[in-house]
Chains A and B, each alone.
Chain A
């Protein structure tokens, strides 16, 4: 399928996932204040629709074999009574997964390819290649993903960030 159609499908899945995560918040017990984070993992599966045609469905990740793509949705909310500044959400990529990309409209997105020491845009990073010479970093080199909100987060406000990865 075309990249654009693929992106649209994932965007639709993301909306469903965000809706699902919003529901989660109402049930969650709130702490005294400060930021709250929740993490969920989904996958896209193909099912046969009522009309007999295959369609894509987003479900919590449960049938994952090597090569399967999953996407994580990290939802954040300011449950305190003061604005939160310099909010930076960091997700270390699990060792058995290979980072693919961030999903959806994201705040400033940075990655690390050196185990979390330095962060930058993927296109600006490089790693030592097999022969010891420096080469541009690729998605598979990413060890951590970080999102930085570009404005203070008012009390009660929240949002979600998401990234896709593939099981090695």
Chain B
């Protein structure tokens, strides 16, 4: 038995590096050779070992890739905002280096979106950029590549879809977007290769290509399994303030009935309640209420009350903070006939989402 021969062979095999990236398997183009040896004796005399031919095959390319949304939540945006970003990763699971052609798109109106909303908005000037410095953040002017170049087996790159939000968008609009990546042949550093194609027909002696990718995100038309592409969805949620103004009026007193069932007759004191309701998902900043007093009435000096309380759209008379009529003083929140002629002006500050702001003032009906 030629143990030395076998030991020598084993040692060589152990020394040879195994050309493989762990998860994707043996690299395409690797040549796998195999040789067998027979050891035998004739009439009790050991004969020299005999080797078989070495039979080989070439490892072919199996294309696989994964596009995945990053973050797990929608990107909140406000109407009119520009360069708003949704983030994805593209992972190359091919047993070889590939380029990837990137296609961003708006989802079709009415489609279900990544986070279970209904698409009813398109972002404008939709663009795609590859994260060039690996910081996971879109750096305008720095991340400028629009395709993935030379991504190695088992490697991942971050990709951004960037778009503008129309100024006409309103609170609760949802813009669903999809990123689709197509495996492309490695076209040399800095150049995008042609889309990879599957080897049709008979196997060749060269490296053949098989597509092994799964089906893409539900909103992508045409992204089937084994088509050399993959995709995923993300979405932009428009959050804005949405203000509803309600005005109500109560008769406080009249010259004849006093405060018992007063009527709105000349000489009566009328109290107006202005209620601002923010039904949006975003705070409204620096609200200013301007209310011209009606014709045939006279403003009741010192009657402005700000930050009043009340149920629903009504105000509780006497609640809130009294304001003088001028526009002076620290943090002055209201005036009459100073900021705007003939009108009550109330500076209400910020109204948080799902909150209200109320203001009160009185006039007397002219005789």
Contact = CB atoms under 8 A, between A and B. Distances in A.
Given A36-B50, A96-B20, A96-B30, A64 B57 contact: yes
A38 B55 CA distance: 9
B156 to A, nearest CB: 19
B139 interface: no
A53 B15 CA distance: 47
B37 A90 contact: yes
Most buried by B among A76, A95, A117: A95
B14 A115 contact: yes
Contact of A63 (B1, B6, B25, B208): B208
Interface stretch (B40-48, B175-183, B227-235, B338-346): B40-48
Interface string A69-91: 01010101000101111111111
Contact of A66 (B38, B43, B62, B203): B62
A92 B204 CA distance: 27
A62 B26 contact: no
Contacts of B18: 95-96, 168
A38 B52 contact: yes
A66 B21 CA distance: 11
A127 interface: no
Contacts of B10: 92, 115-117, 143-144
Contacts of A61: 57
User: Chain B at the A interface: mostly helix, strand, loop or mixed?
Assistant: mixed
Contacts of A101: none
Given A41-B34, A95-B13, A167-B32, A74 B60 contact: no
Nearest to A96: B26
Contacts of A97: 32
B59 interface: yes
A85 B42 contact: yes
Contacts, number: 148
B140 interface: no
Contact of B59 (A80, A88, A144, A167): A167
B20 to A, nearest CB: 6
Most buried by A among B6, B16, B58, B62: B6
B210 interface: yes
Given A116-B7, A167-B26, A92 B13 contact: yes
Contacts of A74: 36, 52
Contacts of A168: 18, 20, 25-26
A62 B57 CA distance: 6
B262 interface: no
Given A90-B38, A143-B13, 18 more contacts: A39-B53, A39-B54, A41-B55, A63-B60, A63-B203, A66-B59, A74-B36, A83-B42, A87-B39, A87-B40, A90-B39, A91-B36, A92-B10, A95-B16, A96-B18, A143-B10, A144-B10, A168-B25
